[in-house]
Structure 1
């Protein structure tokens, strides 16, 4: 029962940090594309970095505040984990759109923002808990 509570607390904290990071990413992207007048790739790159920073702070000071950070450059590892998640989302979109020929706007949203986001969140959760944050030098365990 304690393991389930630990897992639930970890998942809720991770989700809260991720939702806040997503909101920052989206709001900054919209501002940079609109009033700031930046191009789409520059705007997205900057908003992605801002979102990663918010997610790292939320996880470091919230979800994983009682755990050790692995290595001398935890933010760099966290950023790499988030890049891997972004790559998963792009891969889902590419496979659906170009590989399967599902080219409608709805198909792109489902593959990139639903399926891709779900898989990317799994990658980010696993990478954050096993590669970035550790408990007493070991991977946090709620399974046994």
Structure 2
């Protein structure tokens, strides 16, 4: 049986809003949640998949040797270059995932502008992530698998992903 509300009727949650009234805090919160829940969830899912790929590639490059197995890998002495390579590969997947999944409902921006903004945002984000790894490696002198994964992959990824989330929605995939 459909529920029809008149200006003087009430809902289960309280009085119905009249046509000229301002939205309640609950209405605004529900609206914000509806607007941001799907893109935030999708962004985190895309980021999670790419995070796993980035971590796996980095660990293979830095800590795995084809002839000797785990220990000191081919790029152990150049961890920043290894991380830069993995960030570049992950960024390509991030762009595709966010363009078509997270922000797929937004109008298609001019491709050249979108790609330039994406590259700029990712260069800054890569710098943030590399600075976390570089600080751990070269200032603190930590070069173990655990230290690299905490500083470069975990902390660096949290910092760079937070930056990306804010800037992708505003500059790379804008609403208009």
TM-score (structure 2 length as normaliser): 0.58
Larger RCO: 1 or 2 (CA < 8 Å, sep 6+):
1
- Contact 1:81–1:124 (CA under 8 A) maintained in structure 2: yes
| Structure 1 runs of 4+ with >6 Å offset | none
CA deviation digits over 1:41-89, x for unaligned, max 9?
A: 48963x5443222211111111111213455421232132222212111
Instruction: State how many pairs are aligned.
Output: 130
1:3 aligns with 2:43: no
User: What are the residue-to-residue correspondences of 1:34-113 with 2, within 5 Å?
Assistant: 40=75, 41=81, 45=85, 47-73=86-112, 74-99=114-139, 101=140, 103=142, 105=144, 106-113=146-153
TM-score (structure 1 length as normaliser): 0.69
1:12: which partner in 2?
Answer: 41
In structure 2, runs of 5+ residues without a counterpart are 1-29, 67-73, 76-80
- Contact 2:118–2:168 (CA under 8 A) maintained in structure 1: yes
- 3-state SS of paired residue (1:65): coil
- 3-state SS of paired residue (1:134): coil
- 3-state SS of paired residue (1:68): coil
- Contact 1:90–1:112 (CA under 8 A) maintained in structure 2: yes
> Structure 1's 88 and 69: CA in aligned 2 closer, same or farther, altered over 3 A?
farther
In structure 1, runs of 5+ residues without a counterpart are 138-144
